[in-house]
Amino acid sequence: MKSIASKISALLMLVVTLGSTGCIQDRFDQPPVNGSDPNITPTHSIADIKAMYSGTSVEFTDSMIISGIVNADDKSGNFYKVITMQDQSAGIAIRVDGNSLFNNYPVGRRIYIKLQGLVMGEYNGLIQLGGARTSGSTTEVEPIPQPLLDNFIIKGSLNNPLTPQVVTIGQLNNSMQNMLIRLDSVQFSAGDTNKTYANAVTQQSVNLTVQNCTQQSVILRNSGYADFAADKVPDGRGSLTAIYSVFGTDKQFLIRNTDDVQFTGPRCGSSGAPGTLIAIRDLRAMYTGSATAAPAGRKIKGTVISDRTANNLVSQNVIIQDATGGITVRFGGSHSLSLGQEVEIPLDGGTLTLYAQLMQLENMSASNVTVLGVNPVTPRVATIQQINDSISKWESTLVRINNATVTPGPTFGSSSGNQSMNDGTGSITLYTRAAATFASGAVPAGPATITGVVGRFNSTRQIQMRNASDVQ
Amino acid sequence: MKKSFLTFWAMLISLLAMAQTQTSRITGKVVDVFSNKSVANVRVQLLPAGIEAISNENGEFSLKDVPYGKYNIQYSGEGLVTVTRNIQVSSPDITLGSIPLSQSTGDIATIADDVVPSITTDDEGSGQDNSGDNNISGVLSASRDVYVNTASFTFGQARFRTRGYDADNYVVMINGIPMNELDNNEVYWSNWGGLNDMFRFRDNTYGLEAANYAFGEIGGASNTDATAIRQRKQFRASYAFSNRSYQHRVMATYSSGILKKGWAFSASASYRGANRSYIPGTFYDSWAYFLGASKKIGDKHVISLTAFGVPTRRGKSSPAVQEMYDIAGTNFYNPVWGYQEGKVRNSRVFKSHQPTFIFSHEYKIDKTSTLNTAVAYQFGETSNSGLNWYNAPNPNPDYYRNLPSNQADSGLAAQIYDLYSSSEAARQMNWAGFYEINNNSQDTIYNANGVDGNTVTGKRSRYVVEERVVRSNEFSFNTYYNKVFAKKVEFTAGLNYRFNRAQNFKRINDLLGGDFFVDLNQFAELAFRDSVTNQNNLATPNRILKEGDMYGYNYFYTHHKAGAWAQAKVNLKKVDFFVSAALNFTAYWRTGMWQTGLFPNDSKGRSETFTFLNPAVKGGVTYKINGRNYIYANGSFLTRAPYIFNVFLSPNTRNQTAANVVNEQIGGVEGGYVLNTPKVKLKATGYWTRFLNGTETKRYWHDQYNSNVNQTMTNIDREYFGGEFGVEGNIYKGFGMNAVVGIGKGRYIDRPNVTVTSDNTAEILLDNETVYFKNFYAAAGPQWANTVGIFYNSPKFWFVRLNASWFDWIYVEANPIRRTATAVEGLEQGSDQYDAIINQERLPGQFIMDIFGGYSWRLNNTFKKMKGGSKYINFTLSINNLLNNTKFRTNGFEQLRFDFTDRNPNKFANKYFYNYGINAFINVTYRM
């Protein structure tokens, strides 16, 4: 037994001593990671290089170096097979046949491009660098294949800050291609506010319209492959930070991710207070029978159907109409709202009352009103009988009566302004203030088309014209 | 003269006139390549004639009044890849049939295959890495059969497969316990390599001969008796040096022989190592240990306990396309390693340690009957490492998109060629690049580990090294009873049972400088942009992974296999015959441990249980013409359960199985002549075997679907037939010659069906398409191998053998997708492109020379004063491929991906394995 045991242990020792070769390919030294800029000085600025392009692709045969900071990467998927970078002078795109480029060339990395051997061309007006000329084209270039990237692109330090250039839409021009630009006070057009950034289902790219408050617009183009493609776009107004690009005559922007879209403020023309819109009809329905406070946090939006310049109503009043109805609004003093303007009026502080049976919204402040634009109202064509039947529903709205005969005359202002109008279905008072500019005008001789606002004065039902053109 | 001249011209002119006025009508139908739905508004143009048509809502189009001639026909449409083909118009009505078009991914193409790593299980060819010098032929060496002995010795290096059979057709046993893996019936030699000294007593049967310890498989069987009691008293220590898979081997073995009180002990240990094996980037690091003890109890019983294990680490290689071999300037280019801080680091490391314990009992009941029983337990882990990456560029240096042949511009192709051919680092893995990217990858994970508000920030690894692990426990039992009646009839009957439970999972091995990795399914992430479908384990979504953590997939395979068999051998004066029968029962199922986001209803929990009952019969007759000549014939028929590996379509993600799970039917006959004289040994055999209704699944990465894809072939019918011839004779005194020929054809004899499914969805990409595979070669490796050798055995205890061999009929493994109607749709039969797609490449035949020699030096003869028994030093030297033929492709395979867009079979070109150049093995053994 002993001899066997000793023989076995001798055997094991023999094997161990002869066989120890250490750990083969087991422990590896970790490579150091480089974070600093290499000692390279660029020979040209990006603008210098772009200036060399004059319509046909250029091949760089001399040793030239440009340097810039990467301003967009493909991390979100909105960019594809391209590196865009900029220096102080300009920006440029480099076509690369590779994916997940953000791993090596993230936004903020300084890179140096050794131009010798590369070519510069364009794609529908957008200047880009590539690895070779595209055969059959005088302007297009092929992307640089992934294995060759280290031959042409030297990686520098990371997290370099990029300051976007702040410009207006009108200032955009071709020299800003592939630079990081910021537009302030812009929003998506009203039609685009219900959309998503792109079509994530079919993975198709979508062009959205970004506009400022003076109706100038540009395209925001988003890829269906972006990870934010299915996100809904914000409907506010604010700043857009993105890469400026061109496609033929189109001016377009490309965002890196949705952080570039900061549309958090109110849209063009909307009032300071957010407020929820309510229909004028709903506001009228809130009247309780005695003075009623208008709901706070609400606003109405409608078109001005009264004409202060013709003076057929007191200067503190304005009549507003929306799709659901109309209302007379009374301010503390005169206002400057014009016929046809679309306005938004926050209701906070207002009171609904009846003035000689005409409902009014009082205690309003003209300075709170926001003018949105111009949006004229088409008058409702009706018979006098219909108007009399709907006098409450149609109060403070615009109507048009055909074949109306005004009696007795001779002027609109006669009989203290109370003329009678009849179209064969019934009659109604046509009231004109003495101060109205057309008060001394003659009433029409025969039947005419009269346009005016439906109103009441105690028990009298009446129509009030706005100006002389309301008689046809 | 003039008349015939004029007549000739008249005829010619009229012919031309006819030709000019003859026109054709071409019709066809445009469909989507994968859904087969018709595509409208496709513009079909004949160029340069300018005749065109637009397909209607049914995809139909018709080109009218097309003058005869040769054109290019071009199909283009919105969102479709433009396809151009040649067309020869020479008949009045041409029906093009269905033309498949694929969706254009265009300039906003999906980016997945870069971002998601490819699964390489089948592209590598399972088990086909250049490992070990004892490969499949190990089972057959040391056989007395003149064909088998030479075939294994000389043909093994060329990866010759006896009879063309795949490696799942041989049963290998140790002490009566089968060593074949239950899930695919293959044998992993790494589990006991380095223990050659203990595995010398092998009982081999080849083909359909009867074995004494098991029913056997269609290719043969072997049982090694490694019990301590069988080893005679000896001590051996050896050292070997080689340039094959390992450089150094040290081995020591001791056996006590039978001691007093009936004990016997054996012990063996070895180490095989290489910092660099033959192929660059590969390494070998393998220990082996063996302990055996036996006790004789009385006269009738012997009990033995045998334990062995081979803890191994090995760096592997991967085959490449010929373009890369040419660029690298060597046929031994290996893409899976790279330099890290000046040292070679291999990304594909194989690790294995599966210790085996066998308890055996031999019971000599009486002089004519014995009962052998063995019980075994094996456990352990085997893993294969590889790179995994997330949203990062594909790290494989031979990635097809980066190859010069894939560049549109020839100038850029030339630049890549120059870079790869001049810089070794450029064509190997860039480890420093992975560390750099991981270091710069700051990321934040919200709701990490499924905990609301748990935000983790740090360096998120984009590249990691992962290990795909199989951890298994196996229990086996085998007993067989043998009785001889009247010295003429030998009856054997046995019962066996195996149970295996294997856990399949993967884990992070190295974060490569990062702080964490995240457990997400990238395949699903690209298809479904939400944060539920991409989870591998819904129980802990967004799991943060550190080194050693299990992730990705986690499931168990449970296997039961039980069998009973019986055999009767009758030895008469002139005739021997035998008959055996067996019945096997197999049951298996999958149990998923994690509920995945992709298949929430089908991933966790137990799959259906599959059970199979497989009968088998075998019989044979040997007619002894006289003591030296006999002829024999054997036949067998059996059914075999499909392997669990082929039945589950995507075991990593779900329990879904192939639609039709059926037994394979195997039948074969063999017959031959044997001559056995002292001077000449000769064996000539013919064989014919059929495998019907087989099932096979291969897996690969498909970038059009951003997913791992499973290709399952069913109804596979194969036939192998051929002949084997071996002769060895002593010519004069010690000189002799041998000659061996193995020739056969292993082919598909009918058309299987193929179904392709994606890991991403339950969608069926190709539904039961017919594979036009008839007569294509199914056998891998050379199907025709010849060797002629001369040898000399000197009475002075040395010998030398020299062999010259020729290997031919080597066909690459064919991809079934290339032989479907879809793959060649619209192409003209017999056109160059059609042929390029369907032809199975044949590799050229090769010539190899080997020399093997040895000398046995009896130390006592030299040192006359030595005491205590004979002591020897044996030297052996073998040099294979003496002429350094480095152009020998022993095997190859077509990549499973096929370029449906341009139908260019060279886009995913064939990959090849090259045989080593000149390689040697020198061994010195001291024994006593």
Nearest CA in chain A to B112: A99
Q: CB of A5 within 8 Å of any CB in chain B?
A: no
Three-class SS state of A113: strand
What is the rounded distance in angstroms from the CA atom of residue B152 to the CA atom of residue B206? 12
CA angle in degrees (0–180, nearest 5) for B853-B858-B860: 170
Handedness of CA B77, B80, B82, B87 (dihedral sign): negative
B344 interaction partners in chain A (CB closer than 8 Å) = 25
Place of tokens 């000019």: B20
| Per-residue pLDDT, B129 | 35
Three-class SS state of B97: strand
Q: Which of A381, A427, A431, A388 is nearest to A404 (CA)?
A: A427
A7 interaction partners in chain B (CB closer than 8 Å) = 235, 254
What was the ipTM of the complex prediction?
0.73
Q: Where are the alpha helices (DSSP H) in A52-192?
A: 149-152
* CA distance, residue B359 to nearest chain A CA (Å): 21
Q: Which two tokens stand for residue B715?
A: 């109804």
B248 interaction partners in chain A (CB closer than 8 Å) = 19, 21
Q: Which of A19, A100, A205 minimises the CB distance to B392?
A: A100
Compute the residue count for chain B: 928
| Per-residue pLDDT, A10 | 65
- Mean pLDDT on B885-897: 89
Compute the residue count for chain A: 472
Q: Where are the alpha helices (DSSP H) in B423-536?
A: 431-439, 522-527
* CA distance, residue B532 to nearest chain A CA (Å): 15
- Most A CBs within 10 A among B110, B412, B461, hence the mutation to make, goes to B412
What is the rounded distance in angstroms from the CA atom of residue B42 to the CA atom of residue B75? 7
* CA distance, residue B364 to nearest chain A CA (Å): 27
* CA distance, residue B246 to nearest chain A CA (Å): 12
Q: Which of B668, B547, B551 is nearest to B617 (CA)?
A: B668
What is the rounded distance in angstroms from the CA atom of residue A74 to the CA atom of residue A255? 11
Residue B123 has pLDDT above 80, yes or no: no
Nearest CA in chain A to B248: A19
CB B920 within 8 A of CB B242: yes
B259 interaction partners in chain A (CB closer than 8 Å) = 4
Range 197-256 of A in CB contact (< 8 A) with B: 200, 203, 205, 223-225, 227, 229-230
Most confident listed range (A1-5, A437-441, B578-582)? B578-582
- Most A CBs within 10 A among B103, B250, B323, hence the mutation to make, goes to B250
CB B37 within 8 A of CB B29: no
Q: CB of A80 within 8 Å of any CB in chain B?
A: yes
Please judge whether B513 and A33 are an interchain contact, meaning their C-beta atoms are less than 8 angstroms apart.
yes
CB B776 within 8 A of CB B840: yes
Three-class SS state of A140: coil
Please judge whether A147 and B431 are an interchain contact, meaning their C-beta atoms are less than 8 angstroms apart.
no
Please judge whether B419 and A33 are an interchain contact, meaning their C-beta atoms are less than 8 angstroms apart.
no
For B329, counting Cβ atoms within 10 Å of its Cβ (0-12 exposed, 13-18 middle, 19+ buried), the class is exposed
CB A129 within 8 A of CB A90: no
Of B294 and B794, more confident:
B294
What is the rounded distance in angstroms from the CA atom of residue A287 to the CA atom of residue A282? 9
* CA distance, residue A200 to nearest chain B CA (Å): 9
B345 interaction partners in chain A (CB closer than 8 Å) = 25, 28
Please judge whether B436 and A31 are an interchain contact, meaning their C-beta atoms are less than 8 angstroms apart.
yes
* CA distance, residue B437 to nearest chain A CA (Å): 6
Beta bridge partners of A243: A180, A254
Q: CB of A373 within 8 Å of any CB in chain B?
A: no
Residue pLDDT, tens place only, B130-172: 333 223 334 444 456 788 877 777 888 888 888 988 888 889 8
Q: CB of A22 within 8 Å of any CB in chain B?
A: no
CB B146 within 8 A of CB B727: yes
- Most A CBs within 10 A among B104, B110, B111, hence the mutation to make, goes to B111
* CA distance, residue A343 to nearest chain B CA (Å): 43
Please judge whether A151 and B416 are an interchain contact, meaning their C-beta atoms are less than 8 angstroms apart.
no
| Per-residue pLDDT, B477 | 96
In this prediction, residue B794 has a pLDDT band, given cuts at 50, 70 and 90, of confident
Please judge whether B440 and A33 are an interchain contact, meaning their C-beta atoms are less than 8 angstroms apart.
yes
Give first-to-last CA distance, chain B, whole Å: 99
Of B27 and B85, more confident:
B27
Contacts of B762-769 with C-beta under 8 Å, sequence gap 24+, read: B762/B599, B762/B656, B765/B34, B765/B705, B765/B709, B766/B34, B766/B817, B766/B820, B766/B822, B768/B659, B769/B820, B769/B821, B769/B822
Range scoring the smallest mean pLDDT among A284-293, B242-251, B896-905: B896-905
Residue B1 has pLDDT above 60, yes or no: no
What is the rounded distance in angstroms from the CA atom of residue A182 to the CA atom of residue A166? 5
B270 interaction partners in chain A (CB closer than 8 Å) = 15, 19
In this prediction, residue A7 has a pLDDT band, given cuts at 50, 70 and 90, of low
Please judge whether B265 and A4 are an interchain contact, meaning their C-beta atoms are less than 8 angstroms apart.
yes
Cβ of B708: how many Cβ atoms within 10 Å? 22
* CA distance, residue B207 to nearest chain A CA (Å): 39
| Per-residue pLDDT, B592 | 95
CA B643 to chain centre: 14
- Looking at every residue in chain B, the average pLDDT score rounds to 86
Place of tokens 């070679």: B344
| Per-residue pLDDT, B82 | 66
Buried b (16+ CB within 10 A) or exposed e, B21-39: eeebebebbbbebbeeebb
Q: What pTM was estimated for this model as a whole?
A: 0.74
Please judge whether A145 and B416 are an interchain contact, meaning their C-beta atoms are less than 8 angstroms apart.
yes
CB B580 within 8 A of CB B617: yes
| Per-residue pLDDT, B19 | 47
- Mean pLDDT on A13-35: 68
| Per-residue pLDDT, B391 | 87
CB A2 within 8 A of CB B402: no
Please judge whether A33 and B315 are an interchain contact, meaning their C-beta atoms are less than 8 angstroms apart.
no
What is the rounded distance in angstroms from the CA atom of residue B268 to the CA atom of residue B253? 4
B269 interaction partners in chain A (CB closer than 8 Å) = 11-12, 15
- Mean pLDDT on A230-249: 90
Residue B446 has pLDDT above 80, yes or no: yes
C-alpha distances out from residue B858 to A87, B256, B639, B923, B927, Å:
83, 21, 53, 16, 10
Percent share of chain B, pLDDT over 90: 48
Q: Which residues contact A176 (CB under 8 A, 6 or more apart)?
A: A90, A91, A165, A167, A244
Q: Which of B152, B275, B269 is nearest to B219 (CA)?
A: B152
φ/ψ of residue B634, rounded to 5: -130, 150
For B549, counting Cβ atoms within 10 Å of its Cβ (0-12 exposed, 13-18 middle, 19+ buried), the class is middle
Residue B683 has pLDDT above 70, yes or no: yes
Please judge whether A144 and B265 are an interchain contact, meaning their C-beta atoms are less than 8 angstroms apart.
no
- Mean pLDDT on B697-707: 68
Of B728 and B20, more confident:
B728
In this prediction, residue B117 has a pLDDT band, given cuts at 50, 70 and 90, of very low
Please judge whether A80 and B248 are an interchain contact, meaning their C-beta atoms are less than 8 angstroms apart.
no
Q: Which of A181, A245, A243, A187 is nearest to A211 (CA)?
A: A187
Place of tokens 């939400």: B530
B251 interaction partners in chain A (CB closer than 8 Å) = 15
Nearest CA in chain A to B79: A204
CB B693 within 8 A of CB B155: no
- Mean pLDDT on B776-789: 92
Instruction: DSSP letter for A471, please.
Output: B
Residue A102 has pLDDT above 60, yes or no: yes
Residue B253 has pLDDT above 80, yes or no: yes
Q: CB of A124 within 8 Å of any CB in chain B?
A: no
Q: CB of A21 within 8 Å of any CB in chain B?
A: yes
Q: Is the peptide bond before B404 cis (omega within 30 degrees of 0)?
A: no
Please judge whether B416 and A148 are an interchain contact, meaning their C-beta atoms are less than 8 angstroms apart.
yes
C-alpha distances out from residue B114 to A257, B835, B845, Å:
21, 31, 37
* CA distance, residue B402 to nearest chain A CA (Å): 6
Q: Which of A24, A144, A223 minimises the CB distance to B285?
A: A24
In this prediction, residue A4 has a pLDDT band, given cuts at 50, 70 and 90, of low
Please judge whether B269 and A223 are an interchain contact, meaning their C-beta atoms are less than 8 angstroms apart.
no
What is the rounded distance in angstroms from the CA atom of residue B338 to the CA atom of residue A310? 89
| Per-residue pLDDT, B843 | 94
Residue B4 has pLDDT above 90, yes or no: no
Q: Is the peptide bond before A408 cis (omega within 30 degrees of 0)?
A: yes
Residue pLDDT, tens place only, A107-127: 999 999 999 999 999 999 999
For A27, counting Cβ atoms within 10 Å of its Cβ (0-12 exposed, 13-18 middle, 19+ buried), the class is exposed
Q: Which of B29, B26, B27 is nearest to B66 (CA)?
A: B26
Q: Which of B617, B622, B744 is nearest to B687 (CA)?
A: B744
Nearest CA in chain A to B103: A202
Parallel, antiparallel or unpaired: strands A351-355 and A292-293: antiparallel
CA B730 to chain centre: 39
Residue B503 has pLDDT above 60, yes or no: yes
Parallel, antiparallel or unpaired: strands A91-97 and A126-130: parallel
Nearest CA in chain B to A151: B419
A15 interaction partners in chain B (CB closer than 8 Å) = 250-252, 269-271
Percent share of chain B, pLDDT over 70: 90
Rg (Cα) of chain A, in Å, rounded? 37
- Most B CBs within 10 A among A100, A124, A142, hence the mutation to make, goes to A100
* Helix (H) or strand (E) segment spanning residue B278: none
A11 interaction partners in chain B (CB closer than 8 Å) = 235, 237, 252-254, 267, 269
Three-class SS state of B314: strand
| Per-residue pLDDT, B760 | 66
Nearest CA in chain A to B427: A147
Please judge whether B435 and A100 are an interchain contact, meaning their C-beta atoms are less than 8 angstroms apart.
no
A106 interaction partners in chain B (CB closer than 8 Å) = 440
Name the E strands within A215-336: 217-222, 237-247, 250-254, 261-265, 276-277, 292-293, 298-304, 317-321, 326-331
